[in-house]
Amino acid sequence: MIKVKNLIKTFRDGANSTTVLDDVSFEIPRGAWVSITGPSGSGKSTLLSLLAGLDVPSRGEIWVDDVALSQRSEEERSALRSTKFGFVFQSFRLLPTLTALENVELPIEIALSAGEGKRRAFAPGRARELLERVGLGHRLHHLPTELSGGEQQRVAIARAFAAAPPVILADEPTGNLDSKNGETVLALIRDLQKERGSTFVVVTHDPGVAKLGDREIHLRDGKLVP
Amino acid sequence: MRAALYYFRRDRSLGWRSLFFNAAGVALGVAALITLELFSNRIANTIGRDTKSFLAADYQVQSWRVFTPEVWAAIRKLAPEKDFLRQTDWVSAVQLPSGDAVTVSARALEGDYPFYGKFRTEPALAMEDLRAEPGILLDRSFQARDLKLGDRVRLGEVDFVVKGFILEEPQTVASAFAIGPRIIVHQEWAERTGMIGPTSRAFRMILIRSEISSKEFASRFRERLPDLHWRLITPDRANRQAQRIVDRVSGFLSLVALTAVFLGAAGVFMVFRGRYLLTLPQLLTLRCLGLRSRDLLAVSGLQALTLSILGWGLGSGVGVLLEDWVSRTAQAQLGVALSTPTFGGPLAFALFVTLVVVAVSVVLPLRQVLRTPVSEAFRDSESSRVGFAPSDALALGAAAVLVAALVGRNFALTGIFLGGLVGVVAVLAFGASFFVAALSRIRVASSLALKHALLSLRRQRASTLTLVVVLGLAGFLPSTIFLLSRTFQSQLDLSDREGMPNLFLLGIPPEDRESLTGFVPTMEFSPVTQVRLKSVKGVPIEELAARRALENDRPPEENAENEELGSLRFTREYFSTRRLALSAGERLVAGRALFGAPVEGKVRVSLESGFAENLEVAPGDEVVVEIAGVELPAVVQSTRKVDWYNFRPNFFMVFHEEDLREAPFELVGIGAVPPAKVAELQRDILRKHPTLSVLDGQSLATRLKSLLGQLSTAVFAVGSFAVGSALLVFVGVLLARRSQRLREVALWRCLGLRRSQLGSLLGIELSLTALVAGGLALGFSALMAYVLARFGLDIPPSASGISLAAAVLVVGMPVGLTALGLWLLRSLLNVPTAELFQKEQ
C-alpha cells in the first residue's frame, strides 16, 4: 500500500522558492490502478519522482508498504526501487547498447545484486517469457534502435514487470504512440497488472487512460482537487 | 551562406569544455611541430651565419692520410704561408699526475688559430704560447679532477704543462659529441708525442684563410689536386651538409610531432561524430526547413576554422615559449649563440597543417549526415547512424600523406614513417577489434558491473576502437624508443658481458707485442695495414664512384659534391687485416671457406657482405688494391657478415695471412680484463708504452650511452606530446560522451543501481580499455624493438627494460587512466538521483 501524508515540495532558486506540491495526502491500496491527472505544471511528474524515491519531500511523508521513504538514505532508496518499483516512461528510455532481452533482464540483475535473489527466486527465462507475453518473442536480440516506437514501449513494459515489483509507475506511457499502439500498450499493462496484482500509478493527460483507473487523483497548482 | 552563418552563431551543441579539450588536443601537436620547426630554423640560420666560425677558416682540406709534399705545394700556390695552418685530431689517453689515464679527444693546432670563430681559454692564451715549452690546454671538466695550472700531464712521449683550460672553441658543438673531453697541444709538440705518425689513425686538416670565392677556390684546388681523397670543405658545402643533417633529424622529429597532431585530430573526429549523432534530429529538421547541404558543410567548415585557429593559437603560443626555452638551454650547454628564427614560415606552415587535419576530421563525419535521407526527420531519429565509410578512410589517408610529406620533407623518411604509422594503427585496430569480438563471447553471470562494462565496450565499438588505437599509439611510440635505447645500452654495457673486450690498444709497433702480452696474457692482436681500392672488375675506382654518384637522386648542382663524397667512400684508406680464419662475430655469407686455394699472381681477399654488395662483387671477381704504393691484383674468395657491435676490430677487407706477409703493418690489441683492473692496466701500459693509444672500453661505452641517451631523450620529449594529445583525446571523448552517459546513468539509478555499482561499472570499462591499449602497445613495441634491433640495426635484441615498460603500460596506464576517467565522470556518480531524473527528462 502507498500512503502519502501532507506532502509539500518546494524548489528554491536563489531567493525565490516555488511550491510544486502543497499539502497533498492520499492512499493507494495494493493492486489498484490510479491515474494522476492535471494540467502542465500542476506537479504530476514531481509527485511521481517523490513516489519513486528519486527525490525527498520538503515536508510530509510517503510510505510504501510501511517503509517511510524520506527516512531512508539515497542508497537505501535505490535498493528499494530495484525491488518495489517498475517504471514505464513516455519516451521508453531503453538502454541503447542493450538488446531487448538484456533491457528486460536488467531489473532482475539489479534486484539480484541488491540481495533480493536470496529472498525471491527469479524463474530462469522470465525476461524471455515476458517479452513473448508482450508479443516480442521474435525481437529478443534486437537493439532499441532496431525497434519501432510501439515495440520499444512494449519492451519497456516487460522491463517494468520483470523483477515482479509490487508498484509500477508510468509517466504518459502512450504519449509517444499512435492510438492503435497506445491501445495495445494499455491492454498489455492492464492484463499484466491484473495477473500479478501490482499497484499501477500512471501520470497522464489522456482522459481515455485516466478513466481506465480505479481512482483518479487530479492535481491543480500543486494541490489535490477533490 | 547567411543561413549557415546564422546557425553557426547560434549553435551551442559544442560546449566550451569540449571545444577547449579538442583545441588543446590539436594544440599539443601544433606546439611540438612549431617548437621543432622554429628550432631547426634557428639552427639553420645559425649555421648560415656562422659557417666560417664553425670551420674556423674559409676552407678546410681534410684527410686521414699525412699530407704529401704535392698537397703542400698546391696549398702554397692557393694561399700564402701565413694564411694556412694545420689541425690534427685523434683519440688517445692522457696520463694525469695521479697516475690515472683519461680517454681524450686530442687536437693539435698551430699559428694564428682560429681564422674565424671564438677561441677562449682561461687564462687567455694563443696557440703560439704553447710552443716554447710543451704546454697543454684542457677541457674544463679536468678541473673536477683537481687539475690546476702548472700541473704536468703526459701524452705519448711528452710531459706537458697545464697552461690553461678551454672555455670556448670554434667547434664546440662538435666537441659535445666527441668521444672524450678535449685537450689541445701545439702541432710541433704533438708530433713529438709519437702518436700521430704516418700510420696512425689521426684526422688531419689544413685550415685556409682566403678571399677567393668558393667556386673559384674549389676549381683551382681540384685543378692542382685531382685526387678526390683530398677532401675540400667550403662554407657552402659545410652549410649544405649541416643543413642536411638538421633537416633529417628535424624531419624525423617533426613526423613524431605530427603523430600528436593526428591523435588530436582523431579526438576531434570522435567528438564531432558523437555530436552529429546527438544532433542528427536537429540537423535533419534544419534540412527539412530548407537548409542546404552546402550550408551545413559551411557550418562545419566554420567550426573547423574556429577549432583550427584556437588549436593553432594555443599551440603556437606554447610552441614559441617552449622553443625559446629549448634554445636557451642549448645555448647554455653548447656555448653557442644561436640566431633568431624566422617566425613567419613555421607559423604559417603549422596553420596550414592544422587547417587541413582539423577540416578533414570535422567535415568527414558530416558526410554521413548528409547521406541520411531528409525523410528520416519524420521517423525516430535514433534509428539513424553516423558511421564511417571506407571512402572516409581514403580521405583521411590522403590528408595524412599530404601533411606528412610536407612535414617530413623527405620522401623515403615520410614513406617509412607513414608506412610504420599505418601498420601500427592497423595492428592496434585489429587487436582492438579482436578484443571487442572476444568480449561478445564472454558470458559473465556473477558480476552485474563486469557484465555491463563488457557489454558497453562491445556495443560502443567505434568509441572503444578509437580509444584503444589512440591510447595504444601513444603508449607504443615512447615504449618502442625506450626498449630500443635499452637494447642499445645493454649492448654497450660491457661490465655485464663476460669475455667482452674492454681494453683497446691502437698503433702498436709489432716489436711491442711480447711486452704487451706480459700485461695481458690473453690479449688478441690483429695486424692492420692501410689499403686503397684501385679498380673493381676492371673499372677504375674513380669511374665507379662517379657512376654511383650520378645514380643518386640529389639535385644536379650537388652532383659534383656528391661525386666527391661517393668517391671518398670508395677511394678512402681501409684499415685491413690478414688472417686465416673467421673471427668471433663473423659468419660466411658467400664462398665455401674464408679463403680457397692460392691463385697465381693474385692475393686472396674476403669482403664484408655489405661492402661487397656496394661494390657489386661476388666470390671469383677481381679487384686491384694498393698497399704502401704497390698495386696488387686480388681475387674475392668469400664475403662475410660482420657483427659491428661486438667491440672487436672489424674489417671490410681481410687478406690471406700468407699473401700479405711482406706488407707493412702495425697491430691493434684487444683485451678482456676484469673491469676493476682496466684503469690500472691502462696506466701501467701507458707508462711503458707512452705512444700507444690505450683506451678504456667501458668509458667509451659510457660516453656512447650518454650520447644515445641524449638522442632518445629528444625523441622521448617529442613523443611525450603524442602522449599528451592522447590524454586530451581521452578526456575529450569522455566529456563528449558524458551527456549520453548522463541519460544512461539516470536510468540505471532509477532502476535501483547503487552508486558503488555504477562506479565499478565505469571503472571496469575504463580500465579494460586502457589495459587492452597498454597491452597491445607493450606487445607491439616489444615486437617492433626486436625487429628493428635484429634486422634494422643488426644488434642482438634484448629484453632489458621490458618489465619497466610492462609496469607502465599494463599497470600504470590502466590505473592512471581509470582514476582520471572516474574523476572526470565523478559528477555522474555524485549528482542526486532526482536531479539526474530531471536532466534525463
Query: What is B659-703 written as a DSSP string?
Result: TTTTS--EEEEEE---GGGHHHHHHHHHHH-TTSEEEEHHHHHHH
Name the grid cell of B776.
597491445
Residue B502 CA to residue B76 CA, distance in Å, equals 44
Q: Please return the burial class of B559, using the count of CB atoms within 10 Å of its CB with bins 0-12, 13-18 and 19+.
A: middle
Contacts of residue B448 in chain A, CB cutoff 8 Å?
Answer: 109-110, 112-113
Is the pLDDT score of B841 beyond 50? no
Q: Is residue A22 part of a domain?
A: no
Work out the pLDDT band at B839, boundaries 50, 70, 90. Answer: very low
Q: Which of B291, B294, B273 is nearest to B282 (CA)?
A: B291
- Most confident of the following: B331-340, B355-364, B758-767, B830-839: B758-767
Q: Looking at CA atoms only, how far is residue A57 from chain B in angstroms? A: 11
Segment holding B208, helix H or strand E: strand B203-208
Cβ distance B755 to A75 less than 8 Å, yes or no, reads: yes
A81 shares contact with chain B (CB less than 8 Å): yes
Cβ distance A113 to B448 less than 8 Å, yes or no, reads: yes
Q: Which of B635, B645, B625 is nearest to B572 (CA)?
A: B625
* Mean pLDDT to the nearest integer, B813-832: 86
Q: What is the DSSP string of B148-183?
A: -TT-EEEETTEEEEEEEEEEE-TTHHHHTTSSS-EE
Say what the pLDDT of residue B12 is: 57
Helix/strand/coil percent split, chain A, to 5? 40, 25, 35
Higher pLDDT, B122 or B287: B122
A102 shares contact with chain B (CB less than 8 Å): yes
HEC profile for B720-742?
A: HHHHHHHHHHHHHHHHHCHHHHH
Q: Per residue in A132-150, pLDDT tens? A: 988 889 999 998 888 888 8
Question: What angle (nearest 5°) sits at the alpha carbon of residue B477, between those of residues B473 and B483?
Answer: 135
Q: Looking at CA atoms only, how far is residue A213 from chain B in angstroms? A: 24
Of residues A49, A75, A149, nearest to B837 (C-beta): A49
Per DSSP, what are the bridge partners of residue B622?
B635
Residue B533 CA to residue B570 CA, distance in Å, equals 7
Residue B607 CA to residue B571 CA, distance in Å, equals 16
* Mean pLDDT to the nearest integer, B726-737: 80
How distant, in Å, are the alpha carbons of A36, A42, A216, B363, B600 from that of A225?
A: 11, 11, 10, 56, 125
Contacts of residue B380 in chain A, CB cutoff 8 Å?
Answer: 148-149
Cβ distance B751 to A83 less than 8 Å, yes or no, reads: no
Is the pLDDT score of B189 beyond 50? yes
* Mean pLDDT to the nearest integer, B789-798: 77
Q: Which of B706, B708, B20, B29 is nearest to B322 (CA)?
A: B29
Question: What angle (nearest 5°) sits at the alpha carbon of residue B675, between those of residues B670 and B679?
Answer: 80
Contacts of residue A55 in chain B, CB cutoff 8 Å?
Answer: 832-834, 837
Average pLDDT of the residues of chain B = 82
Higher pLDDT, B275 or B569: B275
Q: Is residue A28 part of a domain?
A: no
Q: Looking at CA atoms only, how far is residue A75 from chain B in angstroms? A: 6
Closest residue in chain A to residue B381, using alpha carbons only: A145
Cβ distance A97 to B460 less than 8 Å, yes or no, reads: yes
Segment holding B61, helix H or strand E: strand B59-63
Cβ distance A148 to B382 less than 8 Å, yes or no, reads: no
Residue B621 CA to residue B617 CA, distance in Å, equals 6
A197 shares contact with chain B (CB less than 8 Å): no
Contacts of residue B838 in chain A, CB cutoff 8 Å?
Answer: 49
Say what the pLDDT of residue B445 is: 65
* Mean pLDDT to the nearest integer, B564-584: 77
Is the pLDDT score of A17 beyond 60? yes
Backbone angles phi, psi at B156, to 5 degrees: 65, -130
Mutate to test the interface with B, among A9, A54, A75, A102 (most CBs of B within 10 A): A54
Calculate what percentage of chain A has a pLDDT beyond 90.
22
Mutate to test the interface with A, among B440, B751, B757, B758 (most CBs of A within 10 A): B751
DSSP letter at B757 equals: H
Compute the half-sphere exposure of residue B782: CA atoms within 13 Å on the CB side of its CA.
15
Residue B392 CA to residue A156 CA, distance in Å, equals 37
Q: Per residue in B294-328, pLDDT tens? A: 777 888 888 888 888 988 999 999 999 999 998 88
Residue reference for cell 500512503:
A3
Q: Which of B186, B302, B248, B265 is nearest to B28 (CA)?
A: B265
Higher pLDDT, B537 or B553: B537
Cβ distance B754 to A96 less than 8 Å, yes or no, reads: no
Name the grid cell of B349.
606552415
Q: Per residue in B241-281, pLDDT tens? A: 778 777 777 777 777 787 788 888 877 887 777 777 777 77
Contacts of residue B744 in chain A, CB cutoff 8 Å?
Answer: 95-97
Contacts of residue A114 in chain B, CB cutoff 8 Å?
Answer: 752, 754
Q: Per residue in A101-135, pLDDT tens? A: 988 988 888 888 776 555 555 666 888 989 998 88
Cβ distance B455 to A82 less than 8 Å, yes or no, reads: no
Amino acid B825 reads: L
Q: Which of B225, B183, B184 is nearest to B208 (CA)?
A: B225
Q: Looking at CA atoms only, how far is residue A139 from chain B in angstroms? A: 16
Residue A193 CA to residue A199 CA, distance in Å, equals 7
Closest residue in chain B to residue A111, using alpha carbons only: B752
Segment holding B513, helix H or strand E: helix B513-519
Are the CB atoms for B251 and B713 separated by under 8 Å?
Answer: no
Closest residue in chain A to residue B745, using alpha carbons only: A95
Name the grid cell of A133.
507475453
Helix axes B697-736, B738-750, angle to 10 degrees: 60
H-helix segments, A2-147: 44-51, 74-84, 100-113, 116-119, 126-133
Of residues B448, B744, B840, nearest to A95 (C-beta): B744
Cβ distance B382 to A145 less than 8 Å, yes or no, reads: yes
Bond from prior residue into B123 cis (ω within 30 degrees of 0): yes
Mutate to test the interface with A, among B454, B750, B762 (most CBs of A within 10 A): B750
Contacts of residue B750 in chain A, CB cutoff 8 Å?
Answer: 52, 54, 81, 87
Say what the pLDDT of residue B622 is: 94
Of residues A54, A144, A145, nearest to B837 (C-beta): A54
Say what the pLDDT of residue B381 is: 44
Which residues fall within 8 angstroms of residue B570, CB to CB, at 6 or more apart?
Answer: B533, B541, B542, B544, B545, B548, B615
B751 shares contact with chain A (CB less than 8 Å): yes
A145 shares contact with chain B (CB less than 8 Å): yes
Backbone angles phi, psi at B22, to 5 degrees: -65, -45
Work out the pLDDT band at B840, boundaries 50, 70, 90. Answer: very low
**Where in the sequence is the domain holding A216, given as residue range(s)?**
33-55+71-225
Is the pLDDT score of B6 beyond 80? no
Say what the pLDDT of residue B383 is: 40
Work out the pLDDT band at B168, boundaries 50, 70, 90. Answer: confident
In total, how many domains does chain A have?
1
Q: Which of B1, B152, B157 is nearest to B92 (CA)?
A: B157
* Model pTM score: 0.72
Name the grid cell of B694.
690505450
Are the CB atoms for B294 and B341 separated by under 8 Å?
Answer: no
Q: Is residue A61 part of a domain?
A: no
Residue A144 CA to residue A221 CA, distance in Å, equals 36
Indicate which CATH number applies to the domain containing A217. Answer: 3.40.50.300
Cβ distance B833 to A77 less than 8 Å, yes or no, reads: yes
A9 shares contact with chain B (CB less than 8 Å): no
Query: Minimum mean pLDDT among B452-456, B597-601, B644-648: which range?
Result: B644-648
Higher pLDDT, B189 or A175: B189
Cβ distance A78 to B834 less than 8 Å, yes or no, reads: no
Is the pLDDT score of B634 beyond 90? yes
Query: Minimum mean pLDDT among B235-244, B369-378, B425-434: which range?
Result: B369-378
Q: Is residue A163 part of a domain?
A: yes
Q: Is residue A45 part of a domain?
A: yes
Amino acid B337 reads: A
Is the pLDDT score of B602 beyond 50? yes
* Mean pLDDT to the nearest integer, A83-88: 88
Question: What angle (nearest 5°) sits at the alpha carbon of residue B533, between those of residues B530 and B534?
Answer: 130
Q: Per residue in A159-183, pLDDT tens? A: 999 888 899 999 888 877 788 888 8
Name the grid cell of B804.
619497466
Calculate what percentage of chain A has a pLDDT beyond 70.
96
Segment holding B88, helix H or strand E: strand B84-95
Mutate to test the interface with B, among A11, A56, A93 (most CBs of B within 10 A): A93
Say what the pLDDT of residue B382 is: 45
* Mean pLDDT to the nearest integer, B735-750: 78
Closest residue in chain B to residue A159, using alpha carbons only: B751
A113 shares contact with chain B (CB less than 8 Å): yes
Are the CB atoms for B359 and B308 separated by under 8 Å?
Answer: yes
Q: Is residue A134 part of a domain?
A: yes
Cβ distance A45 to B749 less than 8 Å, yes or no, reads: no
Residue B44 CA to residue B248 CA, distance in Å, equals 12
Say what the pLDDT of residue B551 is: 57
Are the CB atoms for B99 and B93 separated by under 8 Å?
Answer: no
Cβ distance B754 to A75 less than 8 Å, yes or no, reads: yes
Give the other-Cβ count within 10 Å of A201's Cβ: 24
Closest residue in chain B to residue A105, using alpha carbons only: B448
Q: Is residue A175 part of a domain?
A: yes
Cβ distance B752 to A148 less than 8 Å, yes or no, reads: no
Closest residue in chain B to residue A90, using alpha carbons only: B841
Question: What angle (nearest 5°) sits at the alpha carbon of residue B250, between those of residues B244 and B254?
Answer: 140
Q: Is residue A1 part of a domain?
A: no
Calculate what percentage of chain B has a pLDDT beyond 90.
18
Q: Which of B463, B502, B794, B529 is nearest to B663 (CA)?
A: B529
A60 shares contact with chain B (CB less than 8 Å): no
Contacts of residue A160 in chain B, CB cutoff 8 Å?
Answer: none
Q: Per residue in B368-387, pLDDT tens? A: 777 776 666 555 444 444 44
Work out the pLDDT band at B173, boundaries 50, 70, 90. Answer: low
Laid out side by side, the sheet with A85-88 consists of A85-88, A167-171, A199-203, A33-37, A215-220, A223-225
* Mean pLDDT to the nearest integer, B331-356: 83
Of residues A78, A109, A146, nearest to B754 (C-beta): A78
Helix/strand/coil percent split, chain B, to 5? 60, 15, 25
Residue B674 CA to residue B679 CA, distance in Å, equals 10
* Mean pLDDT to the nearest integer, B705-732: 81
Name the grid cell of A43.
506537479
Bond from prior residue into A166 cis (ω within 30 degrees of 0): no
Are the CB atoms for B618 and B631 separated by under 8 Å?
Answer: no
Collapsing DSSP to helix, strand or coil, B330 comes out as: helix
CB pairs under 8 A between A and B: 80
Cβ distance B749 to A78 less than 8 Å, yes or no, reads: yes
B840 shares contact with chain A (CB less than 8 Å): yes
Is the pLDDT score of B637 beyond 90? yes
Q: Please return the burial class of B721, using the count of CB atoms within 10 Å of its CB with bins 0-12, 13-18 and 19+.
A: buried
Residue B802 CA to residue B794 CA, distance in Å, equals 19
